[in-house]
Amino acid sequence: MPTNNSDQLRATHANQVINAGGGADLMIWNPNTGNATFNGGNTNENYDSNPYMDRSGGDYLRVETSAALRVRFTTSEDGTVTQGNRVLKFTGIERIELGNGNDVLDATNARILPAHNGTPMHGLTVYAGAGNDSVIGTSVDDIIDGGSGHDTIRAGGGNDFVQSSTGNDLIYGDAGDDNIRWGQGNFQENVGNDTIYGGAGHDMMNVWIKDGYGENGPGVTVNITAINGAGSFAGTSTTNIGGGTSSLRFFEMEQVWTHEGRDVIDGSKASVVGGKGFHGNTRWGDDRLVGSNGNDTLEGGEGRDTITGGRGNDLISANGDFFNSRAPGDGDRDTLVFRTGHGSDTVLGFDTRVDVLDLGGRHYNVVEKSQGTLLTAGSDTILLAHIFDYI
């Protein structure tokens, strides 16, 4: 019997109607049992849509089958699942997990429900499972994991979180500020050969490839290939971590992240239109960042990083904290490389105790300004923001 707690409920015969009641419930349907109706309820669910947390709460629908499914959302919580002539009607579902077939899920015309009974307004949370799936999200913030297989994902509007998972995937972030992740941080999985388009908005290419040996294990190399006049950029990446070779092509991005390991983000060969640069953050590990000929934003994150801004007026952080311009360094020995013609650069988070300026033997005039220490050589300048009495 359903309760107001978190129940597990399964359809066992044809034309069954299950009302889950309150709580964050798991509801399971196998098309072989026949048509069914699931009502998830909308009270006492403690729904949390944060993609970086446990994604807890909310009613969860799991479909157990290897046959192809057709899923249509009429609202952000209601819709139908069809397999052949078997149909499941559902309401009040916050999360859905599909089976192992080649499924199609479409929420293009889903009406977004307002906040209700403690559940905030939300989009979809979808795990498409195995198979070559097609997923189209809603007009608001969705969480979409294609699962294994060669998937096609259109995230739709909103600030979406999209996980490429394994297989050769094609992903479109569409409108909104999207976070699209390549790799799952699992060194035992080959992530596949993916093509990813950020679309409109401020989108992040989130490269989560690591080999399991922590911050100083082998990393991944990301090459920035082209930067347009609006500051969107394209690039590539290839890795052997996870067994076999996986490759990534990405377009229409405004920021790129890597994670653990000795990673490289290199924009030195990028074609640049209009002077815009790219925004790169290597997060953790002893990494190397190389800027483009445009105005780049380069964040080293934690670890002993080597950062070369290249030409253009760059913003460089030795610790990766742009939310607090006075943030201290990370305590690791970072090397910041500057050469003739590199332009007017600003350095944040410089740690005078351990960080190194590699000036290539060039002489700079040094003066203190209200913003920090300013180094000048010809037309090139380096501002060590909020650093005083350094030289």
- Could you identify the residue written with the tokens 């092509």? 249
CB-based burial, 86-121: b 16+ in 10 Å, e otherwise:
bebbbbbbbbbbbbbbbbbbbbeebebeeeeeebee
Q: How far apart are CA 34 and CA 69, in angstroms?
A: 14
pLDDT 10s per residue in the chain (391 long)? 566 667 899 999 999 999 988 788 999 999 999 999 999 987 766 777 777 666 677 899 999 999 999 999 999 999 999 999 999 999 999 999 999 999 999 999 999 999 988 888 999 999 999 999 999 999 999 999 999 999 999 999 999 999 998 889 999 999 999 999 998 766 557 788 999 999 999 999 999 876 655 556 667 899 999 999 999 999 999 888 767 788 999 999 999 999 888 899 999 999 999 999 999 999 888 888 999 999 999 988 777 888 898 888 888 886 654 444 444 444 567 788 898 988 888 888 788 888 889 998 999 999 999 999 999 999 999 999 888 877 6
- Domain residue extents for the chain: 1-146
- Could you identify the residue written with the tokens 């002893």? 286
Other C-beta atoms closer than 10 Å to the C-beta of 258 total 30
Q: How far apart are CA 208 and CA 141, in angstroms?
A: 21
Checking 83-90 for CB contacts under 8 A at 24+ apart, the result is: 83/31, 84/31, 86/31, 86/32, 86/34, 86/35, 87/35, 88/11, 88/29, 88/31, 88/35, 88/36, 88/37, 88/38, 88/63, 89/36, 89/37, 89/38, 90/27, 90/37, 90/38, 90/39, 90/40, 90/61
Q: Please choose, from the candidates 312, 6, 315, 340, the residue with its C-alpha nearest in 3D space to the C-alpha of residue 300.
A: 315
User: Based on the number of CB atoms within 10 Å of its own CB, is 84 exposed (0-12), middle (13-18) or buried (19 or more)?
Assistant: exposed
pLDDT at 255: 97
For residues 301 and 282, the answer to whether their CB atoms sit within 8 Å is yes
CB-based burial, 18-49: b 16+ in 10 Å, e otherwise:
bebbbbbbbbbbbbebbbbbbbbbbebbebbb
What H or E segment, with its residue span, contains residue 375? strand 372-377
Look up residue 86 and give its two tokens. 């078997």
Distances in Å between the Cα of 230 and the Cα atoms of 156, 198, 274 are 21, 14, 8
Residue 226's SS3 state is strand
pLDDT at 254: 98
Q: How far apart are CA 94 and CA 332, in angstroms?
A: 43
Q: How far apart are CA 138 and CA 125, in angstroms?
A: 10
User: Based on the number of CB atoms within 10 Å of its own CB, is 126 exposed (0-12), middle (13-18) or buried (19 or more)?
Assistant: buried
Q: How far apart are CA 52 and CA 391, in angstroms?
A: 42
Indicate the DSSP class of residue 71.
E
pLDDT at 321: 45
Look up residue 78 and give its two tokens. 């209601």
Q: Please choose, from the candidates 77, 111, 113, the residue with its C-alpha nearest in 3D space to the C-alpha of residue 96.
A: 77
Q: How far apart are CA 280 and CA 260, in angstroms?
A: 14
Residues present in the chain in total: 391
Q: How far apart are CA 31 and CA 248, in angstroms?
A: 36
| 118 half-sphere exposure, CB direction, 13 A CA radius | 13
